[in-house]
C-alpha cells in the first residue's frame, strides 16, 4: 500500500486530506512543519510527499531541494503562485496542484506520480490555478457561468462590472466576508483587455510585515536571512495583467507607503537590488473593513485610499440578493455532487424553509460550505435538516431577519461563541468566523467585548 507524507501547516486541511486519502486506500502521515517532515522521512520510507510551498519554519523550495530525487514530490499552493510552483518543479518537484482542489484532481495527480512509467512531458497550467480556486473561493465556481441570477442587486453588480472592466481604473471592492469579492475581481479581469495576461491574487492579511516588500517586489538571493534564491514578486508576476490585493486594509502603514510609490511610479525594485523594473499592472483591491474610517483614524493612508478607489463596487450580502439563494443552492448542489461523487437530487421543503429564514452571516461562502457538508452526510435522495449544522436550524440565529435582534448583537454573539469554542484562541476563532485575525480584533474593540 503506497505511503504518503503530507507536510502542511494548516492542520485542519492536512487532517481532512489525510482522512480522504486513507479512505482511498493510502497509508498517510502528516507533519505540520518542515522539520518534523524531514524527521519522518528519515524514520519511514514514503512513496510520495505532498507539501505546501509556504511552511512556518522553512521555505518550501528549499525543502524540495533537500528531498528531491528520492521520491515524487507534489507541491500544494494556494497563493496564486504559478511561477513559484513551476520553479519548484524545476528544483525537483513532480508537479503542483492549486488549493483548493477537488478530490479527483489530487487522486489523478497522485496516481500519475506513483505510476512507474516515465512522465513524457510537463505541461505548465498557467490558467488552472484561477479555474481551481474559482470553484471554492469566496463565491461561485468560474464566475457562476451558466447561472442566471435574478435579483436586482446581482444584476446591478453585473452592470457595474461590465462598465468598469474595459477600463484601467483601479477598483476597490467592498463587501462582507464570503460575498464573492475575489470572484468579482476575476470577473473584471476576464472581461478586460488584460484577460490573456496573469491574474495574481494576494491575501494582504497573510503577509508578515517584514516579508511584504519581498512578496510585492521580489528579492535577490542573499538580500536577507532566508533569501536562498532570487524571487519574482507579485508585481512582476502580474505584469501586463491584474494584481488583486485582498483585505488591503490589513497592510501595515509602512508597507502602504511602498505600495503607493509602486503604483505612482509604475516601477519597482527587488529587495537587495538597485535596478528599477517597469511594471504594467491593473490594481483591484478588496476589503470588508471601513477604509474611510481607517483613514480618519490614521491607520490607512488617505493618498493610497484615493489611488485605489478610482471606482468602488459594493458586493451585496446574500440576504440582499432576493431570489438568488435557491439558484445558488442548486448550483452548489451540482458542484458538490460532482466533487464528492454523489447523486443527491435536491432539498427537502423543510431545508428550503430553513435556507430562506436563516440570515447567512457568512454569505455565499457559508451557503456553499453548508451544502457541501450536507451532500457529504446524505446517502441518497434529498438533503434533509438532519444533514444541516445545528446553528443553521436554530431559530435563535434567524431572528435578525425578523427584526428581533440587531445585526451587531448577532455578530457579537457569534464572536463570543467562537471564542468560547476555541478557549479564547483568537487565531482559531478568526478561522471559524472566516475573517482575518485583524478583523476579529477590530470587531472585539468595536463591540467592547471583555475578552
Q: What is the pLDDT of residues 359-376, one digit of tens each?
A: 898 899 899 999 999 999
| Domain assignment present for 34 | yes
Q: Which range (146-160, 164-178, 253-267, 433-447) has the least confidence?
A: 433-447
Q: Which of 399, 436, 430 is nearest to 451 (CA)?
A: 430
pLDDT at 362: 87
Task: Specify whether 180 is located in the same domain as 325.
Answer: no
pLDDT band (50, 70, 90) for residue 83: low
pLDDT: is 93 or 175 the higher one?
A: 175
**Residues 67 and 93 grouped into a single domain:** yes
pLDDT digit string (tens) for 96-120? 777 767 777 788 888 878 865 333 3
- Better pLDDT: 162 or 205: 162
Phi, psi of 40 (to 5 degrees): -70, -35
pLDDT at 272: 87
Q: Please tell me whether residues 206 and 283 are part of one structural domain.
A: yes
Show the domain range for 43. 3-127
Separation CA 109–CA 95 (nearest Å): 8
The mean predicted confidence, pLDDT, of the chain is 82
Whether residue 394 is found in the same domain as residue 346: yes
- Asked whether residue 133 is domain-assigned, the answer is no
Q: What is the CATH number of the domain that holds 414?
A: 1.10.10
Buried/exposed 291-313: b ≥16 CB within 10 Å, e otherwise: beebbeeebbbeebbebbbebeb
Mean pLDDT lowest among 129-138, 144-153, 270-279:
129-138
The C-alpha angle 258, 434, 212, rounded to 5 degrees, equals 15
Judgement on whether residues 427 and 390 belong to the same structural domain of the protein: no
Residue 387 has pLDDT above 60, yes or no: yes
Residue 439 lies in a domain: yes
Residue 157: count other Cβ atoms within 10 Å of its Cβ.
Answer: 22
Q: What is the pLDDT of residue 438?
A: 75
Give yes or no for a contact between 273 and 231, defined as CB atoms under 8 angstroms apart.
no
Indicate whether 233 and 269 sit together in one domain.
yes
CATH number at residue 301: 3.40.50.300
Question: Where do we find the cell 513532480?
Answer: 94
The percentage of the chain sitting over the pLDDT mark of 90, rounded to a whole number, equals: 40
Residue after which a domain boundary falls, among 127, 150, 175: 127
Q: How confident is the model at residue 329 (pLDDT cuts 50, 70, 90)?
A: very high
Residue 367: which H helix or E strand, with range? helix 363-377
Same domain as 334, residue 259: no
Give the domain CATH number at 322: 1.10.8.60
Q: What is the mean pLDDT of residues 303-331?
A: 92
The pLDDT value recorded for residue 78 is 62
C-alpha count within 13 angstroms, C-beta hemisphere, residue 336: 22
Q: Are the CB atoms for 278 and 267 separated by under 8 Å?
A: yes
Note whether 413 and 309 are same-domain residues.
Answer: no
Regarding whether 249 and 149 lie in a shared domain, the answer is yes
pLDDT at 409: 74
Is there a domain that residue 174 lies in? yes
Which residues have CB under 8 Å from 187's CB, separation 6+? 143, 161, 165
- Could you give the number of structural domains in the chain? 4
pLDDT surpasses 90 at 447: no
Verify that 299 and 328 share a domain, yes or no: no
Shared domain check, 436 and 374: no
User: For 339-355, what is the mean pLDDT?
Assistant: 90
How would residue 429 be classed by pLDDT, with cut points 50, 70 and 90?
Answer: confident
Question: With bands split at pLDDT 50, 70 and 90, how would you rate the model's confidence at 394?
Answer: low
Q: Report the pLDDT value the prediction gives residue 264, as an integer from 0 to 100.
A: 92
Among 67, 94, 127, give the residue marking a domain's end. 127
Residue with cell 507607503: 257
Q: Which of 127, 160, 194 is a domain's end point?
A: 127
Does 412 reside within a domain?
Answer: yes
Cis peptide before 126 (omega within 30 of 0): no
Tens-place pLDDT, residues 219-274: 888 887 777 888 888 999 999 999 999 989 989 888 899 999 999 999 999 988 88
- Same structural domain for residues 157 and 80? no
Q: Examine residue 132 and state whether it is found in any structural domain, yes or no.
A: no
Q: What is the CATH number of the domain that holds 94?
A: 3.40.50.2300
9: CB partners within 8 A, 6+ apart: 32, 33, 52, 54, 55, 56
| Domain-embedded: residue 109 | yes
Please report the beta strands in 358-449, taking only residues with DSSP state E, as ranges in sequence order. Answer: 382-383
Contact 311, 171 (CB under 8 A): yes
Q: Confirm whether 134 is domain-assigned.
A: no
Q: What's the pLDDT score for residue 138?
A: 40
Amino acid at each position: 500500500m503506497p505511503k504518503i507524507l503530507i507536510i502542511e501547516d494548516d492542520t485542519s486541511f492536512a487532517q481532512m486530506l489525510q482522512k480522504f486519502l486513507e479512505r482511498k486506500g493510502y497509508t498517510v502521515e502528516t507533519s505540520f512543519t518542515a522539520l518534523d517532515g524531514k524527521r519522518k522521512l528519515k524514520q519511514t520510507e514514503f512513496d510520495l510527499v505532498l507539501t505546501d510551498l509556504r511552511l512556518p519554519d522553512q521555505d518550501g523550495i528549499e525543502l524540495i531541494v533537500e528531498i528531491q530525487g528520492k521520491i515524487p514530490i507534489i507541491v500544494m499552493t494556494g497563493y496564486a503562485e504559478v511561477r513559484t510552483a513551476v520553479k519548484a518543479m524545476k528544483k525537483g518537484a513532480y508537479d503542483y496542484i492549486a488549493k483548493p482542489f477537488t478530490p479527483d484532481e489530487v487522486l489523478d495527480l497522485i496516481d500519475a506520480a506513483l505510476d512507474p512509467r516515465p512522465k513524457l512531458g510537463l505541461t505548465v497550467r498557467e490558467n488552472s490555478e484561477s479555474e481551481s480556486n474559482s470553484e471554492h473561493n469566496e463565491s461561485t465556481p468560474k464566475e457562476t457561468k451558466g447561472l442566471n441570477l435574478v435579483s436586482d442587486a446581482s444584476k446591478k453588480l453585473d452592470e457595474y462590472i461590465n462598465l468598469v472592466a474595459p477600463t484601467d481604473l483601479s477598483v476597490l471592492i467592498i463587501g462582507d466576508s464570503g460575498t464573492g469579492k475575489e470572484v468579482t475581481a476575476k470577473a473584471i479581469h476576464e472581461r478586460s483587455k488584460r484577460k490573456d495576461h496573469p491574474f495574481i491574487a494576494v491575501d494582504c492579511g497573510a503577509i508578515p510585515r517584514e516579508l511584504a516588500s519581498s512578496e510585492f517586489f521580489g528579492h535577490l538571493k542573499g538580500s536577507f536571512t532566508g533569501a536562498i534564491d532570487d524571487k519574482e514578486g507579485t508585481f512582476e508576476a502580474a505584469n501586463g495583467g491584474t494584481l488583486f490585493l485582498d483585505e488591503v486594509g490589513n497592510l501595515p502603514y509602512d508597507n502602504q507607503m511602498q505600495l503607493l510609490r509602486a503604483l505612482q511610479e509604475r516601477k519597482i525594485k527587488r529587495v537587495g537590488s538597485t535596478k528599477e523594473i517597469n511594471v504594467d499592472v491593473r490594481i483591484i483591491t478588496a476589503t470588508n473593513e471601513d477604509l474611510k474610517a481607517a483613514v480618519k483614524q490614521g491607520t490607512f493612508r488617505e493618498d493610497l485610499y484615493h489611488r485605489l478607489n478610482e471606482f468602488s463596487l459594493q458586493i451585496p450580502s446574500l440576504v440582499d440578493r432576493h431570489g438568488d439563494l435557491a439558484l445558488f443552492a442548486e448550483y452548489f448542489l451540482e458542484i458538490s455532487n460532482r466533487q464528492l461523487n454523489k447523486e443527491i437530487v435536491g432539498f427537502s421543503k423543510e431545508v428550503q424553509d430553513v435556507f430562506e429564514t436563516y440570515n447567512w452571516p457568512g454569505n455565499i461562502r457559508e451557503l456553499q460550505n453548508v451544502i457541501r457538508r450536507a451532500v457529504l452526510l446524505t446517502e441518497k435522495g434529498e438533503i434533509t435538516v438532519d444533514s444541516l449544522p445545528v446553528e443553521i436550524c436554530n431559530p435563535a440565529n434567524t431572528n435578525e431577519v425578523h427584526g428581533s435582534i440587531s445585526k451587531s448583537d448577532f455578530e457579537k454573539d457569534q464572536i463570543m461563541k467562537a471564542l468560547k469554542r476555541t478557549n479564547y484562541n483568537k487565531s482559531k476563532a478568526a478561522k471559524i468566523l472566516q475573517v482575518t485575525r485583524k478583523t476579529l480584533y477590530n470587531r472585539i474593540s468595536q463591540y467592547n467585548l471583555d475578552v
